Amino acid sequence: MKNIYLFTLFVGFISFSAFGQKKGCNNPMSNFAFQQKFKNIQRQFNEANKLKTALRLVRNNCLTSAQVKEVALLFQTDDSRITFAQSAYLKTYDRNAFHHVYDAFTRFRNVAKTHEAIMQLRGGNSGGGGSGFIGELSFPSWQYPGISNYKGRTNCGQYLNNIGFTNYARQINQQKNVNNRYQRAWQIMTTNCMTTAQAMKFVSLIREDNQRLELLKGAFKGIYDVENYSSASVALTNYNNQQSFDRFLKDKTGVSNNEPSCLATDTEFNQIFSQIRQERFRSDKLNKAKTIFKIKKKCFTVVQIRKVIKELTFDQLEFAKFSYDYAHKPDDHYLLESSLRSYFDKQRFMKFLADKHK
């Protein structure tokens, strides 16, 4: 079943592979020439410059699907990947293999969005019953742990790629009967290697809290980023189930999810943010924000810090730098770049982060 979705997509690409194949893309770049261009994109200081340089590359050259995927992986956001993939498609030599590019995306809905655009480019359609993409699916806005820098314990080798995950999520979501949905989820989650984020998204498709708990326990042996798995407790709303999951993890890993955390709760943050907003003058807002962060001795998520930055219209860069020492996940602090209005502030911020990680 794992390959059905991929096969369907592959057949779809094959059927259109002749479309435009001779339109200026019969001679893909050599690997040597590509690597020179690739390094030039890699050296660009921020996302905007990377995208601009990458678009110039596909405008003037023909690439293989593997080369397109390499470039797509350089971007920090799926928005950039969508723009690049759409521009690169008609300049890709082996378009029948373009589905491999989708592995570079972090969210399946962005894969669907890109595929829709590509289908329009080649004169097709999304094939309501054919392509198998599930743009109608949505997941809760939980904090999903990333794995880009994960170096902890693993329970398995190769976790599901985005296409495989999307296919399985679709299969679960298509089940109308509650028990059938649970049974399909159980089959998928106990026979595949997946990330904590993927497991969280799978169980979000299940309504019963007790069933979610059983699925999370059953999936443990196939979780790639084991040390992130305690984050999955957010999927459980029943307190007894949360405690049961915590005991289960402690038994399996020796780590308890109840250990004190520096992370500010939503209630705590909302109180802090309300006090910041009450200040009328820009300097007072900035000073209040800094003072409270210091006094509270808490750490904050990217989402929370971004909200403060948007409130500080003229002091965004200063607070973005200041908040680094209060970040729950400092390695994700680069995501705040998009919150800064000034192009030069974005550059200064990324340089600040680069210096922090030297």
Q: Are 267 and 232 in contact (CB under 8 A)?
A: no
User: Are both 272 and 232 inside the same structural domain?
Assistant: no
| Domain that includes residue 282, residue range | 266-356
User: Are both 339 and 271 inside the same structural domain?
Assistant: yes
The pLDDT mean for the chain works out to 82
Q: Are 168 and 196 in contact (CB under 8 A)?
A: no
Q: Report residue 21's pLDDT band, with 50, 70 and 90 as the boundaries.
A: very low
User: Are both 180 and 271 inside the same structural domain?
Assistant: no
State residue 293's pLDDT score.
92
Which of residues 197, 227, 253 is at a domain's end? Answer: 253
- Is residue 143 in a domain? no
User: Are both 113 and 12 inside the same structural domain?
Assistant: yes
Task: Select the highest-mean-pLDDT range: 81-95, 152-166, 184-198, 232-246.
Answer: 184-198
When computed from its CA atoms, the radius of gyration of the chain, rounded to whole angstroms, is: 23
- Is residue 132 in a domain? no
- Among 134-148, 157-171, 255-269, 339-353, the minimum mean pLDDT is found in 255-269
- Give the tens place of pLDDT for each residue, 212-221: 999 999 999 9
Handedness of CA 341, 345, 346, 350 (dihedral sign): negative
Euclidean distance between CA atoms 269 and 274, whole angstroms: 8
What residues have CB less than 8 Å from 49, skipping those under 6 apart? none
**Is residue 256 over pLDDT 50?**
no
- Is residue 270 in a domain? yes
User: Are both 11 and 117 inside the same structural domain?
Assistant: yes
What residues have CB less than 8 Å from 307, skipping those under 6 apart? 273
- Give the tens place of pLDDT for each residue, 52-72: 999 999 888 899 988 999 999
Burial of 334 (0-12, 13-18, 19+ CB in 10 A): middle
Euclidean distance between CA atoms 305 and 20, whole angstroms: 47
User: Are both 49 and 97 inside the same structural domain?
Assistant: yes
- Among 43-47, 148-152, 266-270, the minimum mean pLDDT is found in 148-152
**Is residue 135 over pLDDT 60?**
no
Number of domains, the chain:
3
**Is residue 9 over pLDDT 80?**
no
User: Are both 12 and 105 inside the same structural domain?
Assistant: yes
- Is residue 136 in a domain? no
User: Are both 273 and 231 inside the same structural domain?
Assistant: no
**Is residue 78 over pLDDT 90?**
no
User: Are both 204 and 271 inside the same structural domain?
Assistant: no
User: Are both 171 and 98 inside the same structural domain?
Assistant: no
Segment 79-97 mean pLDDT: 87
pTM here is 0.40
